[in-house]
Chain A
């Protein structure tokens, strides 16, 4: 084996220029693959984090059927037993119970259809960034009776300022008409214009009273350490949470609540991988060509080796090894360049300058920043891919080489 390794290595460097170019191409490809996969991982993770902190949290606990129907009918009981069960799991870092309903909000002459969300002022901030988005006035507090916070566009359209009184009008859980006066305590800016135009928040207790909901809520949003921790936590909760008899609890992960986000990320990934695949294939052809040319130049020498007793299978292995070594050198250098780069950018994310791009991203509730994330699967996957491709590329030249015959050694030309 040592002989073959030595021979393979030296053969690789026989034509330094040719080998160098091929290695350069490989380094280029490896660097881009690792770099962009890390970028995608970072950006996607940030997108998920930003999105879950706008509203849904990593997990949402609801009554079964709420997600499909989103009506008050599918509520769940909120009380100490459930709270304790949730608090007891160390992975849960934030708990926010809510009552979500619809209504018409009006200030004298103007009315607007709104999504009314009853939130627990003390707990809401543990899951979402809602309390941080206040532009004027302040967020709801435990003490403010009948306070309401409006989305900025909603406030503008109604001409409402902190201190104004607004009428909220809807249908309660009991199917009676519900209407109450609320006082504006604050105006907040929600990133997505459509939401900003029709969102209002009131205290959870006020919502339960308004909708005649008792101690029910429509959902409990939970925050955990990361998106990846969501699924295992969901499974645990499904097994552990006390199940009421009337309607079972359902635990949903963020991607069940926001399937469009998840699929957007998948689509984005798919596109990236396709482009990277094209890149890798182009480089693979380069390796194929290099190795093939190297083999064809050595017909005579291979004949001599066979004449001396080298086996065709050994020749196959030799060429195969040369291809792997070529790829390995490119891989090594590429990783040596790419991994530090990823770590550096992980520590120094890039903020997007372009107004157009920034505006677009902010509309989805995300910060206009490009982040990188290093995951060990990245270089491992890249290495496997490159070496795998090099193996494939080696097949034809290696086969061709093993078909050399000793008699080729004796040809005059």
Chain B
């Protein structure tokens, strides 16, 4: 073949080929035909790309589905989208920091905030629970049953007995806690806590219902009482610990928080679910940066395979390319042709990969059962059925990676094709 072009010439070749790629339709048609010239070879490399793209995309989707579940569970079980507390609750989450005139604040401010779908008042306190057999330290949450059911999933998580309602002196606890205390629905419990004047109070309740959420922490450490009974027991007067709010979805939590901050002013703290549990946000961010790394790794591996195929394709056509250059095709167009072929191969693989993933996503649209790992999942508040989730933005990574791979893989073969000296090529058998 002819003399090696200098580095600068290579760059110029590539730049001018880009122009050809954009404008010349024949190049794409040729590329298409050439790709299918050796059907078996194309099929194999396409399969490789499809596996790479599809596999990675699916793994990412599963991972993200996990994250989403974790966040949604946390929001549904306890956090809500936004929570409002008295100022200072962040540092001292005890009964000392409470909000007064709760009913009016709730009705007039919280309920009227823009974008609020539902809201619920809560009283939170540390407490001890005693059964005939055992005792446990828990968090006591006094709730307004009707409002609570609109905001959190507790009402829907009942597995035995009844939700809080008409009957007085009923308490809801998690199955795990009930087991440890050795009580069933109807059993007797004493709930003991320190009231606002510093005295220990203890009152008797019966187990009204048992629940089971996706979170071990809630199942083992939280009990629910009727707000009024908690209030009376702890010596509160129209005072509560927190408001939990739901917006239309988790993405509009921020504007809701801002509106409330403006309305309520200094005596209150308003935080979104992300601010309440930064761990969740960290995990999502870490997951996304990991995704790019995985794509990079898989696609580098694919680059070798694609480059090989293109090199072979060029080699087979040395004579043909030589002739075509002899009769006047410019090197930049030859480069463009090979690049187009690389892009086409990659695009084909990408298409099949996406199709396969779409198919699998549809098959698993009701989620994949991971009960095998239940203990691990529930410690992080994740249920057993994970639905793989692909957001439109998630497709950007594989598409970008595919294009980059196509160009990276095609560079060398394309430049080699351009270096073919027509005279030498024609002489070959």
Chain A residues engaging chain B, CB cutoff 8 angstroms: 17-18, 21-22, 24-25, 28-29, 32, 68-73, 101-104, 106, 108-115, 156-157, 169-171, 194, 198, 259-264, 266-267, 271, 274-275, 277-279, 281-283, 285-286, 288-290, 292-293, 356-357, 359-360, 363
Contacts and interface: CB of A to CB of B under 8 A. Distances in A.
Nearest to A167: B200
B153 interface: no
Contacts of A71: 133-135, 180
Interface of B: 40-41, 44-45, 47-49, 51-52, 55-56, 59, 63, 91-94, 96, 126-128, 130, 133-139, 179-180, 182, 192-194, 198, 200, 216-217, 279, 282-283, 285-286, 294, 297-298, 300-302, 304-305, 307-309, 311-312, 373-380
A290 B210 CA distance: 63
Given A25-B304, A71-B133, A260-B216, A281 B51 contact: yes
Contacts of B286: 356-357, 360
A363 B305 CA distance: 43
B101 to A, nearest CB: 23
Nearest to B279: A360
Given A21-B311, A110-B94, A286-B308, 6 more contacts: A21-B308, A103-B128, A110-B198, A113-B138, A282-B51, A285-B305
Contacts of B56: 275, 278
B304 A111 contact: no
Nearest to B44: A289
B135 A171 contact: yes
B301 A28 contact: yes
Nearest to A296: B40
A401 B92 CA distance: 76
Contacts of B193: 104, 111
A218 B128 CA distance: 20
Contacts of A260: 216, 375-376, 378-380
Contacts of A106: 194, 198, 200
Contact of A25 (B135, B217, B305): B305
A293 B312 contact: yes
Contact of A169 (B55, B139, B200, B375): B200
- Nearest first, the 4 A-B pairs at minimum CB distance are A263-B376, A111-B194, A260-B379, A285-B48
Nearest to A159: B92
Interface of B (DSSP majority class) = helix
A354 to B, nearest CB: 9
A29 B301 contact: yes
B285 to A, nearest CB: 7
A198 B298 CA distance: 46
Nearest to B66: A267
Contacts of B305: 22, 25, 282-283, 285-286, 289
B312 A111 contact: no
A156 to B, nearest CB: 7
A282 B217 contact: no
A293 to B, nearest CB: 6
Contacts of A73: 133-134
Nearest to B299: A282
Nearest to A109: B198
Contacts of A17: 311
Contacts of B134: 69, 71-73
16 contacts: A29-B301, A69-B180, A102-B137, A104-B194, A156-B92, A170-B135, A171-B130, A260-B380, A275-B55, A278-B298, A282-B305, A286-B304, A288-B44, A289-B41, A292-B41, A360-B279
Nearest to B54: A278
Nearest to B181: A71
Contact of B59 (A156, A171, A274): A274
B137 A18 contact: no
A51 to B, nearest CB: 12
Given A18-B311, A28-B300, A112 B94 contact: yes
Given A288-B44, A292-B44, A360-B282, A283 B94 contact: no
Given A108-B198, A171-B130, A278 B55 contact: yes
A25 B44 CA distance: 16
Nearest to B307: A21
A69 B179 CA distance: 7
Name, among B51, B128, B305, the residue most crowded by chain A CB atoms within 10 Å (CB to CB). B305
Contact of B126 (A113, A274, A356, A359): A113
B180 A22 contact: no
B301 A110 contact: no
Contact of B94 (A108, A157, A194, A356): A157
Contacts of A259: 375-376
A216 B351 CA distance: 67
A123 B419 CA distance: 77
A8 B84 CA distance: 74
